[in-house]
Amino acid sequence: MKMRKKTSLLLILFFASLSFLPADSFAEPVEILRFEPGDTLEEIRAKIEYNGYEFTVDNNWVFDMQAEEKRELFSRSAPLFPQMLDGYDGVSPLTRRLGERPLPSSFDWRDYNGHSYIGPIRDQGNCGACYAFGACAAAEGAYNWANGKYDGNCADFSEAFVAFCLSDHYSGFDGCYGSDYDYQELSGLVNYGVCNNAVYPYTDYEQACQSSSWDAPRTTFQSWHRIGCNDTEAIKTAIMTYGVVDAAVYVVSGFEAYSGGIYQDSNTSCYSSPCYYTPTNHIIALVGWDDNGGNGYWILRNSWGTSWGESGYMRIKYTSARVACEAAYLVYQAVVSTIYVDPSGSCNGNTPCYSTIQAAIDPADTESVIRILQGTFNEDIIMDRAYDSTLSGGWDPTFTTQSSNTVINSLTITSTSGTVAIENVILQ
């Protein structure tokens, strides 16, 4: 049977290639071969080569699942009662940030200013709760960025609480049985919040809510919002401004077996109405991007453990697998009056603590006080929006910054009395 199937594929490739050849010359193919359910690794590799893709595949626990098991795992589906909301409150703060700050050619929350603002890869196991992992990844990224938490101090929220407790209050997601396209799990993070993973650790089987987890402290979020379909610049801006982004993909055989390289497939359009109801079957998170000289890709964070892909991550072309059709972000409003800066990262135990001035300025808002340890900081600082905050030398608030967009080429804290000297201020 395997021999006959392989021979059939080779014949398909042969005749497909002939169909693209004009009578008088060779030509590039105008169509590509799609990945299909039941593809063998040999068939996937043949399609990758034929289509000119640049990624590799291999056996892994997801690819090796039985078809019925995959149907249970890939359980994201259209809602029975569509809400068709643009976001939690319909007003996206992202709109005023678009074009406000130049986007770098690459960005990665796993390594921002030498620190990681997202924890280790998770594994959802045989439970269709990918939506809980995507939501918690976005929540952790937003919370960490807003509060200056990185490396070993990153938040670790409970996917189990989302899947098995918050689901009791919503119809759009249900434990191991998946979720729909309305992102009600994000509404749950806004309305009820989420406890830490230490309170309710995740196990990959259907279960009743651990009721005691409701008594633990919970972190709530201000709002969540959708990002325009296939709007690469908006998704980049959301990642860089608010943190890790929640997103959905349409998984096919090539995606399942991915082992490295830049993933690509033919599922690139957001064709439904509304566009964010284009069929997808799995939730992931986006932690960054790389324009890669015109062959740009997202850095996709999966929830299938570190044995899948590139240590649990995937580099995926900007529109492949419908990855940019249904992205959404969370807003965490940090209740912060004072922010501390110390190159050592200690700040004498004061929080939130950042190791650079730029990292402290980015989440600051009007009336925030940024207290900077005495010393010289050799960094270019971009104040990317107009607001009045206070920079103070030696952690003594006596200096107010300009409220216009400013690039500061050097900032020297000259004494513990709060005297601040600014050199080479360039107004833009």
Distant-in-sequence, close-in-space partners of 271: CB < 8 Å, separation ≥ 6: 278
* Rounded distance between C-alpha atoms, residue 135 and residue 141, angstroms: 10
* Rounded distance between C-alpha atoms, residue 16 and residue 79, angstroms: 38
| E strand or H helix at 130 | helix 130-147
* Rounded distance between C-alpha atoms, residue 138 and residue 130, angstroms: 12
> Exposed (0-12), middle (13-18) or buried (19+): which is 222, by Cβ within 10 Å?
middle
**Could you report how far apart the first and last alpha carbons of the chain are, in Å?**
68
Cα dist from 144 to 123, 247, 287, whole Å: 21, 19, 13
User: 184-191 vs 130-147: helix axis angle to the nearest 10?
Assistant: 40
* Rounded distance between C-alpha atoms, residue 62 and residue 393, angstroms: 54
Distant-in-sequence, close-in-space partners of 90: CB < 8 Å, separation ≥ 6: none
Q: How many helices (H) and strands (E) does the chain have?
A: 9, 18
Cα dist from 149 to 71, 152, 189, whole Å: 37, 8, 19
* Cis geometry, peptide bond prior to residue 343 (ω within 30 degrees of 0): no
Active site (catalytic) residues: 130, 282, 302
Q: How many residues does the chain have?
A: 428
Which residue(s) pair with 400 in the sheet?
390
The pair of three-digit structure tokens given for residue 138, joined into one six-digit string = 């976005």
DSSP 275-300: GGGS---EEEEEEEEE-GGG--EEEE
